[in-house]
Structure 1
Amino acid sequence: MRLPLIATLAMTLATPALADWQQTLDAAKGQTVFFNAWGGDERTNAFIAWVDTQVSEKYGVHVQQVKLSDTAEAVTRVISEKAAGKTDNGSVDLIWINGPNFLSMKEQGLLFGPFVAEMPNARYLDLSPTSAASVDFTVPVEGMESPWRLAKFVFNYDSARVMEPPRSIDAFLAWSKANPGRFTHPAVSNYMGATFLKQALIELAPDASVLQKPVTDATFDATVAPLWAWYDDLRPTLWRGGETFPENGSVLQQMLNDGEIDISMAFDPASAAAAIEQGLLPETVRTYALDGGSIGNISFVAIPFNAANAEGAQVVANFLLEPATQAHAQDITVMGSFSVLDPAKLGDDDKALFAALPSSPALPTNEDLGATLLEPHASWMTRLTEAWAERYTK
């Protein structure tokens, strides 16, 4: 009797073919994985270097980070290789990828896989169809990329200067009017600045459900009208009158540390706690999420269709899902990234690894972070940032 398709898929996800995995391990030995990842965060860079030492020792696989200023750099390289007929031995083995670029690569057939279900550590993930590990910016993952860190949009403020931070998008406008020049956001060409706009859009949109579908001319104009009205009022109150913006979140954090602004933002709920630990922010900085919830997603890694070292890339992706690796990444003295693993799937020893991690007054709990708001469809981000640039950078 044939099993129903759903049952068959569930069995596949629950019981990876370990014999096949051993073949992957054997083929990966001696490979160097060129991991293309955003290089703007030193904690992340140091973590990737640590991954190299670990997988080198355990599996004979080396990791070489290719530091990107924009994920599109790696995607463009893969597109160029395909156009040139280079269908194997490609220069990119693993990409820390974001939703719009994942959608682009998936639509163009530029991805290796599906491979996630074949990794032994997939058993620690919630891979149900609607889970955060199975959907990326509303796009079904379908095993073509693997989770590695949890992101959630938060604000950091210096409690020595701000008694009560704004807890809604409308409250931000009122606060910034009362405290001109003490708040700003990164350039909208940077994902952090774009996320700030999306966070505001979700709260201000007449019908936020349309954001889960591809953007159209009609839905865009009607949905963003309240956003532009709000931003027109906000912009003159921003740092330097909203005429210029910090390049990225790292620059914004430095501005908070220097007392140039009072509130910054991050896509990592533990970033402020980790920065305090490193002496990069005052001990009075605290992290919070807006009362109505905040945008959250899982960061993924993907393997291009023509990766020269696809086996090594799978070994690295699997290692990133080891409970000990995830606990190490969540340590605020290391990187502070919340784990992508499903706690219900962890054994007692694995749970103990997380329970033993250091804490901080600046480190929010999951309860503090509140509801997770779904990312809009990737097409909204592209359209939104283009429209913002046209309106405000003429």
Structure 2
Amino acid sequence: MTHPTRRHVLALTGAALTAPAFAQNNAAWSQVERTARGQTVYFNAWGGAENINAYIQWAAAQVQQSHGVKVEHVKVTDTADVVKRVRNEKAAGKKDGTVDLVWINGENFLAMKREGLLFGPFAEKLPSYAYVDTQGKPTTRFDFSEPVDGMEAPWGMAQLTFMADSKRVPSPPKSLTELLAFAKANPGRVTYPRPPDFHGTTFVKQVLLDVNADRATLYKPVTPEAFAKATAPLWTALDALHPHLWRAGKQFPQNAAAVRQMMADGELLLALTFNPNDAANEIAAKRLADSVVSYQFSSGTIGNTHFLAIPVNARAAAGAQVFANFLLSPAAQARKADIAVWGDPTVLALHKLPPAERARFAAKPLPGQVDISAPAIPEPHGSWVDLLEKEWARRYGV
């Protein structure tokens, strides 16, 4: 997630702010819009990137103008804290909660779903949902292998992606086996962020998937027996890799931004991200050389969808639905996908869009973007994350 160097102003037509034709006369949706007018939506979303914050501010202004809904961005460091707040408010019987909409996925969604902390189902009733690519992007209906069941609306796509400077690394490693050989040949020049940093945990999950030919158990709620069996080859693989990493695998950078900066400085040869457009963003911002390329393992890397959910005790559930619906609209999704704005891949099926809306997404490939996308491998079930992070810390966290 990065800072753009320029702000691309996307003109909004009246059609961009309206529902698809089939839904414009939907009485239920019209009632939601009437109820929403005048409401203030407290949108709890990660606030660590200037360009994302600016995008949210732009979207908020659009919905204020078109629907009379005010959106306040509550900047969050850790979504788990939002889950805890909603949990405590519900336990205290607070019916007018402080959270109206939350940017969420993975184990945080799983916790809210299991504990009855979510409003809905609402997602598939949103008029803009008609354009979501549920066939080509099945993770729009499964969050870390947990069925979404309409309890959250897809917002953007992500996939584990590596980057390297082609001048230094003309043939980057495109499999776990090649990565191990590369690390051995370049001691101290490769690493990954320290879990529970999201990117670090994702890298560990990628290795877990790569070392398990039979992945069926990884997509079911974790059990102690399944965990022990599936992670045995994971720890073997990491034990083989770590001695060749930066600082011999005794220390790990705090996050992906630190790894990327170390690559930019020449200290490391590889970096990783969960946004396939990240390197293109950084090149556009002049923070990476234009010789940096992005790639994924040939056999595939972990991919997922990030979502928008409404807590069960939201004060402005109608306003939250109106804002979520706008964020799913072609106009908002195209702006979000623009490298100059955010560069977050769309959840929409472009072939479903009217030609004028589809044209919003037409753009030439930029330096740093992935040339050939590899298959997206679904995330293991969200229940695996906590055990993985704890066992990683026990083995390697000292």
| TM-score scaled by length of structure 1 | 0.92
Q: How far apart, in 2, do the equivalents of 1:172 and 1:130 lie? A: 28
Q: Is this contact kept in 1: 2:193–2:200, CA < 8 A?
A: yes
Question: How far 1:21 moved relative to its partner?
Answer: 1.5
Corresponding position of 2:11: none
Q: Is this contact kept in 2: 1:38–1:68, CA < 8 A?
A: yes
Corresponding position of 1:64: 72
- Greater Cα offset, 153-162 or 35-44: 35-44
Which runs of structure 2 are paired with 1:137-286 in the superposition (5 Å)? 137-286=144-293
Corresponding position of 2:4: none
Q: How far apart, in 2, do the equivalents of 1:289 and 1:76 lie? A: 35
Q: How far apart, in 1, do the equivalents of 2:52 and 2:259 lie? A: 17
User: Measured at CA, do residues 75 and 301 of structure 1 come closer, stay the same or move farther in structure 2, by a change above 3 Å?
Assistant: same
Moved over 6 A (4+): none
Corresponding position of 1:22: 30
Question: How far 1:166 moved relative to its partner?
Answer: 0.6
Question: How far 1:298 moved relative to its partner?
Answer: 1.0
- Greater Cα offset, 39-48 or 225-234: 39-48
Q: How far apart, in 2, do the equivalents of 1:247 and 1:233 lie? A: 22
Q: Is this contact kept in 1: 2:283–2:367, CA < 8 A?
A: no
**Correspondence 1:37 to 2:39:** no
Q: How far apart, in 2, do the equivalents of 1:154 and 1:19 lie? A: 43
Q: How far apart, in 2, do the equivalents of 1:237 and 1:131 lie? A: 37
Corresponding position of 1:392: 396
Corresponding position of 2:366: 360
Question: How far 1:100 moved relative to its partner?
Answer: 0.9
User: Measured at CA, do residues 130 and 359 of structure 1 come closer, stay the same or move farther in structure 2, by a change above 3 Å?
Assistant: closer
Q: Secondary structure at the match of 2:335?
A: helix
Q: How far apart, in 2, do the equivalents of 1:251 and 1:17 lie? A: 50
* Residue type of the alignment partner of 1:75: V
CA RMSD of superposed structures (Å): 1.8
Q: How far apart, in 1, do the equivalents of 2:265 and 2:68 lie? A: 44
- Greater Cα offset, 325-334 or 59-68: 59-68
Q: Is this contact kept in 1: 2:279–2:292, CA < 8 A?
A: yes
* Residue type of the alignment partner of 2:354: G
Q: Is this contact kept in 2: 1:159–1:286, CA < 8 A?
A: yes
Q: How far apart, in 1, do the equivalents of 2:175 and 2:239 lie? A: 17
User: Measured at CA, do residues 250 and 58 of structure 1 come closer, stay the same or move farther in structure 2, by a change above 3 Å?
Assistant: farther
Corresponding position of 2:86: 78
Corresponding position of 1:323: 330
User: Measured at CA, do residues 16 and 247 of structure 1 come closer, stay the same or move farther in structure 2, by a change above 3 Å?
Assistant: farther
Q: How far apart, in 1, do the equivalents of 2:260 and 2:227 lie? A: 32
344, 351, 373: which one aligns with 2:351? 344
Q: Is this contact kept in 2: 1:152–1:295, CA < 8 A?
A: yes
Q: How far apart, in 2, do the equivalents of 1:216 and 1:238 lie? A: 31
Question: How far 1:126 moved relative to its partner?
Answer: 3.6
44, 48, 54: which one aligns with 1:46? 54
| TM-score scaled by length of structure 2 | 0.91
Q: Is this contact kept in 2: 1:40–1:250, CA < 8 A?
A: no
Q: Secondary structure at the match of 1:296?
A: strand
Q: Secondary structure at the match of 2:139?
A: coil
Q: Is this contact kept in 2: 1:327–1:339, CA < 8 A?
A: yes
* CA deviations over 1:201-251 (Å, ceiling 9, x no partner): 101124222111111121111111111111112112222222222222222
Q: How far apart, in 2, do the equivalents of 1:56 and 1:387 lie? A: 47
Corresponding position of 2:101: 94
* CA deviations over 1:325-364 (Å, ceiling 9, x no partner): 1111111111111110012311111111111x35313112
Question: How far 1:122 moved relative to its partner?
Answer: 1.1
* CA deviations over 1:73-101 (Å, ceiling 9, x no partner): 10000011011111x21011111111111
Q: How far apart, in 2, do the equivalents of 1:373 and 1:279 lie? A: 31
Question: How far 1:254 moved relative to its partner?
Answer: 2.1
Corresponding position of 1:332: 339
Question: How far 1:32 moved relative to its partner?
Answer: 2.2
Q: Is this contact kept in 1: 2:197–2:255, CA < 8 A?
A: yes
* Residue type of the alignment partner of 1:219: A
User: Measured at CA, do residues 252 and 211 of structure 1 come closer, stay the same or move farther in structure 2, by a change above 3 Å?
Assistant: same
- Greater Cα offset, 238-247 or 300-309: 238-247
Q: Is this contact kept in 2: 1:16–1:118, CA < 8 A?
A: no
**Correspondence 1:136 to 2:143:** yes
* CA deviations over 1:278-309 (Å, ceiling 9, x no partner): 11211111100101101111110100000111
Identity %: 46
- Greater Cα offset, 69-78 or 42-51: 42-51
Q: How far apart, in 2, do the equivalents of 1:236 and 1:254 lie? A: 22
Q: How far apart, in 2, do the equivalents of 1:144 and 1:186 lie? A: 31
User: Measured at CA, do residues 16 and 228 of structure 1 come closer, stay the same or move farther in structure 2, by a change above 3 Å?
Assistant: farther
Question: How far 1:20 moved relative to its partner?
Answer: 1.8
* Residue type of the alignment partner of 2:369: L
**Count of matched residue positions in the alignment of Structure 1 and Structure 2:** 377
Q: Is this contact kept in 1: 2:137–2:347, CA < 8 A?
A: no
